[in-house]
Amino acid sequence: MKSFKNFSIIILVLSLLVCCIFCPVTTQAAGLYSKYSVLIDSDSGRILSGSNETTAVSMASTTKIMTLIIALENCDKNFVVTTSAYAASMPDVQLNAVTGEQFIINDLYYSLMLESHNDSAVIIAENAAYYLLCKNPSLRSETPFINNYNYDSSFLSEINHEQSEILVHIFTGLMNEKADDILLSDTYYITPNGLDAEDNYSFHHTTAYDLAKTMAYCINNEDFLYITQTVSKTISDTTGRYHYQLNNKNRLLNPNEGIISGKTGFTNKAGYCYVCAYKDKNRTLCIALLACGWPPNKNYKWSDANYLIALGKKYNKQKYFNCEYTFYIPVSKGKYSFCELIPDSAVEFLACDDDSVNIQIDIPETLTAPVNSAQIYGTINIYVNNEPARSINLKAKQSIPKKSHTLDIFDTIFR
């Protein structure tokens, strides 16, 4: 029987074969106007190109992608919402809703995303918070000013600014919880519209990397995609008397050419900002640009986005270690002398000719029976440009029981 001490040689050969395919050159984010930028593989979250991508800065109306996804996930799309005096007081850009005016919340989603109306963001936040309070009595300790929880939002026309801010705080709390859930590392929401703000904890901020990861999460929601892909729409209040024409400000939007979603933003502090998603049959990319120029340079974000999309198209899906890969391990005290370890899954991720891909295989020299097919006995670790990319578990192809006592005696007699 051949010795399995040559496993290290096999592993080395595998690594060298993979490395021969790729040239170890690190891609740099160059030629961009944006101070903070990132291009990521949406499926894995891997950074393909970045510049100051983990620096916390203001994000302006790119905030609204999180506002929309929280509302979509927590509120009935046919809920009738009411405009408060606080919401009506928001600065431009505005829908110009007046206190007491009512809408179907789903219509306001288009106002939020196509025209980026700041008043609509607050209407959505207050009313979605109220809807959640109607469903969850345990959350009502902060809102003694609400006399009914029967899904009638008309009382919002009579509350004061401080009471409105309590409802907004409940909603932004959901935004921050979602940030934790999707593993954003340095994002904090204070406003639902992205207007600059500070509190005793921090300031309203994100990073380019976190913003791109947020978009990667949002595009998994079909309603989010449908709304953000709408080119134009006319909405009205619930009386039908007042109509509002909305036009999408995402100049690059073109699902047929790959740009499937996006959101712009601007404040004096944040500068011009943009986040978008690109998808074709080979890849899904998310791009975030923060502080991408100030007036009059509002078009910098489009050129930067196109630059990064072109860069992303150099990456293609690479597939590694399907179930055809087998590693043979000696088994002691087992019914069979050897065990086949196989990957429990194949992995795919984006790589380009400039990437250096290395593989490290961690398997034991021997196994002792019993061997359980459900148990993990090794791992395959894939590194791209010396950074951990993916890991695959190795499991036994079949369970191997211990040798019976009779076989042990037989082996002893005839050894």
Between the alpha carbon of residue 222 and those of residues 112, 183, 217, 381, the distances in Å are 17, 22, 11, 33
Tell which residue, 204, 264, 260, has the closest CA to residue 62: 264
Residue type at 145?
A: F
Asked if 261 and 228 count as a contact pair (C-beta separation under 8 A), the reply is yes
Between the alpha carbon of residue 339 and those of residues 363, 372, 373, 409, the distances in Å are 12, 10, 10, 23
Tell which residue, 242, 168, 223, 215, has the closest CA to residue 59: 215
Asked if 309 and 38 count as a contact pair (C-beta separation under 8 A), the reply is no
* Cβ within 8 Å of residue 96, ≥6 positions away: 119
Which of these is catalytic: 42, 64, 178, 356? 64
Segment holding 372, helix H or strand E: none
Total Cβ atoms within 10 A of residue 388: 11
Q: Is 116 a catalytic residue?
A: yes
Q: Is 5 annotated as a binding residue?
A: no
Which of these is catalytic: 37, 84, 116, 356? 116
Segment holding 136, helix H or strand E: none
Q: Which segments are annotated as binding site?
A: 263
Catalytic residues: 61, 64, 116
Q: Which segments are annotated as binding site for substrate?
A: 263
